[in-house]
Amino acid sequence: GQNIDQPTEMTATEGAIVQINCTYQTSGFNGLFWYQQHAGEAPTFLSYNVLDGLEEKGRFSSFLSRSKGYSYLLLKELQMKDSASYLCAVRVAGGSYIPTFGRGTSLIVHP
Amino acid sequence: DVKVTQSSRYLVKRTGEKVFLECVQDMDHENMFWYRQDPGLGLRLIYFSYDVKMKEKGDIPEGYSVSREKKERFSLILESASTNQTSMYLCASRRNTWSYNEQFFGPGTRLTVL
* pLDDT of A44 above 70: yes
Residue B43 has its nearest CB partner, among A41, A45, A87, at A87
Q: Per 3-state DSSP, what percentage of chain B is helix, strand, and coil (rounded to 5)?
A: 5, 55, 40
Q: What pLDDT score was predicted for residue B29? A: 94
A19: left (phi over 0), alpha (psi -120 to 50) or beta: beta
Residues in A closer than 8 angstroms to B50, CB to CB, are 96
Alpha-carbon distance of B96 to A6, in angstroms, equals: 27
pLDDT tens digits for range B13-31: 999 999 999 999 999 999 9
pLDDT tens digits for range B49-82: 999 999 999 999 999 999 999 999 999 999 999 9
* pLDDT of B2 above 80: no
Tell me if B63 sits within 8 A of B79, measured CB to CB: yes
**A45 to B108: CB separation less than 8 angstroms, yes or no:** no
The residue-averaged pLDDT of A67-85 equals: 97
Most A CBs within 10 Å, among B4, B43, B47, B88, to test the A interface: B43
The reply to whether B81 touches chain A by the CB within 8 Å rule is no
pLDDT tens digits for range A84-104: 999 999 998 877 888 999 999
The reply to whether B98 touches chain A by the CB within 8 Å rule is yes
Spatial neighbors of B39 by CB under 8 A, at least 6 apart, are none
* pLDDT of B99 above 70: no
Tell me if A70 sits within 8 A of A54, measured CB to CB: no
Pairing of strands A60-65, B4-6: unpaired
Alpha-carbon distance of B71 to B31, in angstroms, equals: 9
Alpha-carbon distance of A21 to A88, in angstroms, equals: 9
* Greatest alpha-carbon span in chain A: 46
Q: What is the mean pLDDT of chain A?
A: 94
**A43 to B100: CB separation less than 8 angstroms, yes or no:** no
Spatial neighbors of B76 by CB under 8 A, at least 6 apart, are B20, B21, B23, B34, B46, B47, B64, B65, B66, B89, B91
Residue B107 has its nearest CB partner, among A41, A48, A98, at A41
Alpha-carbon distance of B33 to B38, in angstroms, equals: 16
Residues in B closer than 8 angstroms to A8, CB to CB, are 40
User: In degrees rounded to 5, what are phi and psi of residue B85?
Assistant: -100, 5
Quickly count: other Cβ atoms within 10 Å of residue A77's Cβ.
Answer: 11
Q: What pLDDT score was predicted for residue A75? A: 98
Residue A42 has its nearest CB partner, among B50, B58, B105, at B105
Residue of A nearest to B58 (CA): A98
Q: What pLDDT score was predicted for residue A12? A: 97
Q: What is the mean pLDDT of chain B?
A: 94
The reply to whether B16 touches chain A by the CB within 8 Å rule is no
